[in-house]
Structures are given as structure tokens and as C-alpha cells.
Amino acid sequence: MFRKVFIFVFLLIAAHAFAQQADFKLYLVGDAGENEITGETLDSLKSKLLHNPESAIVFLGDNSYKNTFFGLAEGFKGFDSSRITQRKLNAQLDILKGYKGYAYFVPGNHDWWNKKQFAKGKRGLKMEESFIETNLGKNTTLANPTQTFLPKNGSPGPVSVELDNNKVRIVFIDTYWLILLGFKDNPAQNIALANTFYHNLDSVLALATALHQNVVIVAHHPVSHLGTVMAKPFKHPYFMGRLKQNSQTFPSYDTMAARINAILTKYPDIYYASGHIHALQYFTLKNTHYIISGAGSKTIPVKTTQDDSKPTVGGLCELWNDKGFFEIDFYKDYTPAVKIYHSNGRESIDIKQPEAIK
């Protein structure tokens, strides 16, 4: 009798554990374009990718920084097809060799070269897009060797893909395109295109909600954040935007954030993932999950409400001064879970645990 009870309990535990195995994983890493060789953070991310083919990886912008010969940042430049910037992109592309899942890149302000005009910024952006898609097109293991740089051709999006048997929808947007609207001498028709963008974003989220899909919006710039960036502010207010408390904000950044957040509040449990701040952060606000994963290759000092700058236990990671990346796990009968990893790949904490869907 005891043996039968033991076996029954064991089977229940095993069944419960099996039920909580993720069906699909999404990895998020941003601002990974600093190093010319694949460092510890990307190496550990590669290990996760190779062991989890039922997954996708999104690089959240600023995929290549342009440096001088002295290793110093040269303004806000990005990929220029030089050997240095090619090596910086290849340091990321190399971790996808042998990977059988889906890989995507979104543009950031450095990928636009922080240009103030659409036409000038698009030239550098399309050069990077071509380099990434040409090289990934040679990858024989990727599930999507094409359509890997989204949105394409310097458009704002939204562009979405459906993965995990259409249960997960990833929505790609270009936030720097929206920020560019705040500069002078840009085409007037882009204002109308921006309005179309917000309308389409609302429509995509409405459709995904009706289909009961798990939705993750991926972009470069955060639209909400916690804490204070402690680094000295740059002279370009659009770069910092809303990211430093008590600093001058750039109007078009604020407009973008306000309009996107107004849409997000209509659809509970959407995930909005971004980079830009070189830190790791997760929090929920008005039923929206915000992830900032901008510590792929560098960090910036941030101040949290905690003295030790570590993630809190109990569902909230405020800010973390360390390189690393995020993972979202999707389940059949459970809500998504969120994990954060150190730069060395050691699992640091399960930030959000899966809960049974009622």
C-alpha cells in the first residue's frame, strides 16, 4: 500500500513538473555592439540558445558602436562596414551558428547613427540591415535565415511574427524613427505615417488579444522605467529622453512614450521589452510588463531603492548594475515566467513565476 501511494505521489509531482516545462522561450539582449569578440555575456547566451532550439532571440538595438582608434566612442555613430564594426556585429552573429531557433535584430539610435534626418539615418541603417541579413542568410540552421532585421527599410513598423504554433506574437517597432519626428527638416508626410503606426499598433494588439496570444513588443527605447541613471547626462537630450530624472526631456520621446503607453493600458499582460539603458530591469505598471535588457556589452551606473542594487524577491527586479540578459518562458497551461541571467549565464533569479491559467 505504501509503495502504491509513493508511486502515485511521485507521478503527481513528475506530472506537475512536466506540465511546467516551457513550450517556448524568448531571449532578450540589447546594446550588445560594444565588443569585437564574443564576450562572457554572449557566450553564456549562446549556450542557452543551443540547448533550447524551441526559442527565439531578439537583439534590442545598438547592435554596433563606432569607436576611434583609441577605443573611445566617436560621437553616436554606428555600423559603417569598417572591419571594426563588422567584427562587432560578427561577435553577435557568431553565437547563432548551430542555433535552430529564430533570430531577430531591431534598430536603435546608434544603428541610425543618431542622425536628425530620416534620409541620412537610413543610409547607415540599411547598410547594417544588409550586412546582418546577408550573413544570417548563410546560416543553415536558423529557423528564419531571412527576415531577421525588423522593421525593414527604415520603417517604424509595427511588424509582427507569430511563433510557437501562433501562441506567441512578437511585435517589432522602431522607436528611433518616432523620435526623429521631433527634429526639423523632416518630411511632413511622416507625421501622417506616425499616426498610421499608432493605429496599426493598436489594431495588432487588439487582434492578438482576441486570439488569446502572448504578446511581446520589442523595441530599443524604454517607454517607462524605474530609478535614476547616475551617469553624467549627454549633451543630446533625445539620447537620455525620459531616462534620467530631473533632466530636460525631448518632446518627441515623451510623445512616443505617452502614446504607446496609452495603447498598452488597453490590453492587460502585454510585455514591452527594450534596451537603451545599459542595465537590467523588470517591473509591472498598470498591467503591463516592462523589461529593460540593455546590458549586453556595457553597463551604466544606476541607483535603486535598495542599497545593494540587487533584484528584489517577490516579482520585481528594479535595477541591476551588471551585464546579462532576460528569458521569457511560455507554457501551454501557465502564464509566462521571466528569468534574469548574470553575464556568466548563471541563473540569478526567477523574477516572475508561472501561474496556472484559470
In this structure, is residue 322 part of a structural domain? Answer: yes
In this structure, is residue 91 part of a structural domain? Answer: yes
In the predicted model, is pLDDT for residue 8 greater than 50?
no
- How many structural domains are present in the chain? 1
In the predicted model, is pLDDT for residue 70 greater than 90?
no
CA nearest neighbour of 227 among 245, 206, 202, 239: 245
Read off the pLDDT of each residue in 42-60 and give the average, rounded to a whole number: 96
The pLDDT value recorded for residue 322 is 80
The pLDDT value recorded for residue 342 is 81
In this structure, is residue 4 part of a structural domain? Answer: no
Per the structure, the complete domain to which residue 251 belongs is given by: 25-352
Reading the block at residue 113, the C-alpha cell is 547613427
3-state secondary structure the chain: CHHHHHHHHHHHHHHHHHHCCCCEEEEEECCCCCCCCCCHHHHHHHHHHHHCCCEEEEECCCCCCCECCCCCECCCCCCCCCHHHHHHHHHHHHHHCCCCCEEEECCCCCCCCCCCCHHHHHHHHHHHHHHHHHHHCCCCCCCCCCCCECCCCCCCCCEEEEECCCCEEEEECCHHHHHHCCCCCCCCHHHHHHHHHHHHHHHHHHHHHHCCCEEEEECCCCCCCCCEECCCCCCCHHHHCCCCCCCCCCHHHHHHHHHHHHHHCCCCCCEEEECCCCCEEEEEECCEEEEEECCCCCCCCEECCCCCCCCCCCCCEEEECCCEEEEEEECCCECCEEEEEECCCCEEEEEECCCECC
Among 49-53, 83-87, 229-233, 335-339, where is mean pLDDT lowest? 229-233
In this structure, is residue 5 part of a structural domain? Answer: no
Over residues 202-254, the pLDDT tens digits come to 999 999 999 999 999 999 999 987 665 554 444 333 334 434 433 335 788 99
> What phi, psi does 290 have (nearest 5°)?
-110, 130
User: The domain spanning residue 71 has which CATH number?
Assistant: 3.60.21.10
Distance CA 124, CA 221 (A): 19
The pLDDT value recorded for residue 248 is 39
Read off the pLDDT of each residue in 34-40 and give the average, rounded to a whole number: 86
In this structure, is residue 8 part of a structural domain? Answer: no
Instruction: Check: CB of residue 227 under 8 Å from CB of residue 297.
Output: no
- Residue 93 CB coordination number (10 Å): 21
Read off the pLDDT of each residue in 7-35 and give the average, rounded to a whole number: 70
Read off the pLDDT of each residue in 257-267 and give the average, rounded to a whole number: 96
In this structure, is residue 11 part of a structural domain? Answer: no
Distance CA 47, CA 105 (A): 19
| pTM, full prediction | 0.87
In this structure, is residue 15 part of a structural domain? Answer: no
In this structure, is residue 7 part of a structural domain? Answer: no
Distance CA 55, CA 306 (A): 33
Among 69-83, 147-161, 222-236, 281-295, where is mean pLDDT lowest? 222-236
